[in-house]
Chains A and B, each alone.
Chain A
């Protein structure tokens, strides 16, 4: 540091101009806030508003972090010294309305009391959630759609200037001069070598994911909401993770229909439950549109599990046929603490197939569990501990 009074003169930068220590520590604080929010993601993603469509962000209220210190308990009332023209008994500020704004004057001045809203992009949340997740049993299928890549292969005497390989060209010149002797020109057009590019086909993994949902009368509004929340985050995650992914949405009561994605998240129905209708629909679509030779087939089915008993045989048969071609089938039973999750008709159907290892199920009772359900299906599948079995 310099020892004379300095003003406008002196160098263009001083040590304290180089960076802001306050901004550095504020960034670290923000990082910690984001980490804290990440810990709470399972709660955040259960927020139903997201499914409305159109929103690409979620707004999460967060507080400034407090660095804790020993402090005395806040007393009922506080006394302190003030200054001004006032005599004992004077009321400097009137009490606030008892009903409203109780905490307006109080508390907001305390550090840590400030709330602000963090806006998180859904894409970011999906990135965080899906970091460690993947589609189970995904394999490259022959003849599938392929990535086309340009790859360098070989050299030629002609080509675009930008692909001139200088090192090779120099080598060619050295070789030629060695053969031709002293009188040879240092460089000639014949020495030039250009890199060649070729197309190459890269086999890719292709997948089609069927999302089937029971929208029959027995599924309450909350049940459907839960199923849709689960599907929503699975769809977001899969899209993010896989480039070539097709999604098909099927809803059923006693009949099954294919829906567009937007409609699927709005759909509701009434009537009985015939699960086989949905499975047959899936099979039909696989046969007509998605050759299992070329596609990894996935089915995720959400239901309250109350399938009609007469449908047991047809549903089991259809499911077995899907199981034969599918890489994985997942069953999400929408249940409640009152119901006995995992002991229903539909749960039994999936349990019968569970031996193959390509079938999983999960009992979902509350929005906070959506994230656990997703983990159960998409994380390392050897450690699924929450299965009803």
Chain B
């Protein structure tokens, strides 16, 4: 702790000198159990649900087997909150403080982060705790089972939001817009302007717009706003889950950039921190090379890509060739999709020994190729829409039947039917009217799931 205090101020001064621009960060040392729960819930205090219990169990097993060690978690905001594990050594914490400052810089300036914080607020930790409290209140009022049923549905649709449509959205237009019928045509314009014609138009029935007017990706929003028989508190829980998804989106969609940026800065700040004793610096460098490396332990091949390492290498390259100012501009504007597509080039991919492999059902794993375009897509595919399939609301019938559609052309294959049915069943308990979901089977033939 003394060491943390000793260097924290100096590291911050150095960071600001190097152009890092961030909201103040509160550091707190917490026990390992706390770190583990954050890893499970994504937030220090979050709504209760049994599915987190399952993840907690897996986390415990992994932890026992020594596979995971968490040094820190940072929550963006003003102030930002950084939780450091009590198990860290003071040397490790020196590095972690520098790392956290990199994150804080990123989350203040990156456009996705900035927008999500404008919408969700600069205090997600407190907000999520408040959500958890509201949901506990609802459980006390309406019963645990009913609240659990709502959360079963809402959390299973957690990934199905449309962050680009915004957190607070206007309702759909109620009527179809008629004006475009010939406003460009000068004759039509004059005809429309005729006096008795205008009267006629007023008496004419306007056509109701279909709901939704075009396929709706934001399932949580649509259900919360259009479910025919949901109670207000149930809609409220849906919107709560949705709000947290809006918070999680930039964390998810900029992971490579963000971890790379923080790693670049902890490495650079420590290198330039001449006030650090030599031994502290060496220990910190060792920690750096333990975390920012492509493969675990003695292995020579990894079947996944370490975002710390990939991001770190990308930023080093960018700053080397384009300078810090341009790098900051990229950091502000990009997300992982544009970042990987624009800056992971063939040269770097070869340098990093990246490859594509195929895992066959019989357990065989074979390297396919190192084609750069396919490599980029292999890295990015699991990241679209939180990695969830593209399911949208197609239509709501007049009897309240909800038609959902899986855009299998986008995803390249159909849904797992058994799981999809279960999700539709979760939703049916709240929609309380029939539900239909269209997808395709293994042979590409249409498959329809119906729950009445």
A49 on interface, CB distance cutoff 8 Å? no
Report B12 CB to chain A, min CB distance, Å: 12
A386 on interface, CB distance cutoff 8 Å? no
Contact size range, A: 35 or more
B233 on interface, CB distance cutoff 8 Å? no
Q: Say which one of A19-27, A38-46, A140-148 lies at the interface with B.
A: A19-27
A123 on interface, CB distance cutoff 8 Å? no
B345 on interface, CB distance cutoff 8 Å? no
Q: Say which one of B1-9, B200-208, B271-279, B284-292 lies at the interface with A.
A: B1-9
**Given known A73-B413, A86-B301, A88-B355, contact A25–B378 (CB-CB < 8 A):** no
Q: Say which one of B38-46, B244-252, B314-322, B324-332 lies at the interface with A.
A: B38-46
**Given known A71-B389, A73-B416, A82-B354, contact A26–B57 (CB-CB < 8 A):** yes
A79 on interface, CB distance cutoff 8 Å? yes
A83 on interface, CB distance cutoff 8 Å? yes
Contact size range, B: 35 or more
Say yes or no: B26 contacts A22, CB within 8 Å: no
Say yes or no: A80 contacts B357, CB within 8 Å: yes
Report B374 CB to chain A, min CB distance, Å: 8
Say yes or no: B364 contacts A98, CB within 8 Å: no
Contacts of B158 on A, CB cut-off 8 Å? Answer: 69
Report A84 CB to chain B, min CB distance, Å: 3
With the chains together, A67 CA to B357 CA distance in Å? 29
**Given known A28-B48, A67-B155, contact A22–B40 (CB-CB < 8 A):** yes
Contacts of B155 on A, CB cut-off 8 Å? Answer: 67
Say yes or no: B5 contacts A5, CB within 8 Å: yes
Say yes or no: B57 contacts A68, CB within 8 Å: no
Say yes or no: B356 contacts A81, CB within 8 Å: yes
Q: Say which one of A89-97, A156-164, A256-264 lies at the interface with B.
A: A89-97
Say yes or no: A85 contacts B300, CB within 8 Å: yes
Which residue of chain B lies nearest to A22 when distances are taken between CB atoms in the complex?
A: B56
Q: Say which one of B166-174, B182-190, B262-270, B303-311 lies at the interface with A.
A: B303-311
Say yes or no: A95 contacts B362, CB within 8 Å: yes
Contacts of B31 on A, CB cut-off 8 Å? Answer: 16-17
Contacts of A20 on B, CB cut-off 8 Å? Answer: 33, 37
**Given known A29-B53, A79-B368, contact A71–B416 (CB-CB < 8 A):** yes
With the chains together, A68 CA to B153 CA distance in Å? 9
With the chains together, A85 CA to B48 CA distance in Å? 44
Contacts of A92 on B, CB cut-off 8 Å? Answer: 301, 303, 357, 365-367
Contacts of B56 on A, CB cut-off 8 Å? Answer: 22-23, 25-26
Report B155 CB to chain A, min CB distance, Å: 7
B420 on interface, CB distance cutoff 8 Å? yes
Contacts of A71 on B, CB cut-off 8 Å? Answer: 389, 415-416, 419-420
Which residue of chain A lies nearest to B379 when distances are taken between CB atoms in the complex?
A: A81
Which residue of chain B lies nearest to A21 when distances are taken between CB atoms in the complex?
A: B37
Say yes or no: B419 contacts A7, CB within 8 Å: no
Cβ contact of A81, chosen from B30, B33, B34, B355, cutoff 8 A: B355
Main DSSP-derived SS at the A contact region: loop
**Segment 1-59 of B: residues with Cβ below 8 Å from A:** 1, 4-5, 8, 26-31, 33-34, 36-37, 40-41, 44-46, 48-54, 56-59
Say yes or no: B367 contacts A7, CB within 8 Å: no
Say yes or no: B362 contacts A25, CB within 8 Å: no
A356 on interface, CB distance cutoff 8 Å? no
Contacts of B27 on A, CB cut-off 8 Å? Answer: 5
Say yes or no: B413 contacts A75, CB within 8 Å: yes
Cβ contact of B389, chosen from A6, A72, A95, cutoff 8 A: A72
Chain A CB count within 10 A is highest, among B46, B155, B363, for: B363
Say yes or no: B426 contacts A68, CB within 8 Å: yes
A53-76 near B? 1/0 per residue, CB < 8 Å: 000000000001111111111111
Say yes or no: B28 contacts A6, CB within 8 Å: yes
B68 on interface, CB distance cutoff 8 Å? no
**Given known A20-B33, A83-B354, A105-B363, contact A88–B159 (CB-CB < 8 A):** no
| Beyond A88-B368, A95-B360, 16 additional pairs, beta carbon < 8 A | A1-B26, A29-B54, A64-B54, A67-B54, A68-B426, A69-B423, A76-B360, A77-B359, A79-B357, A83-B305, A84-B294, A85-B300, A88-B367, A91-B365, A96-B364, A104-B363
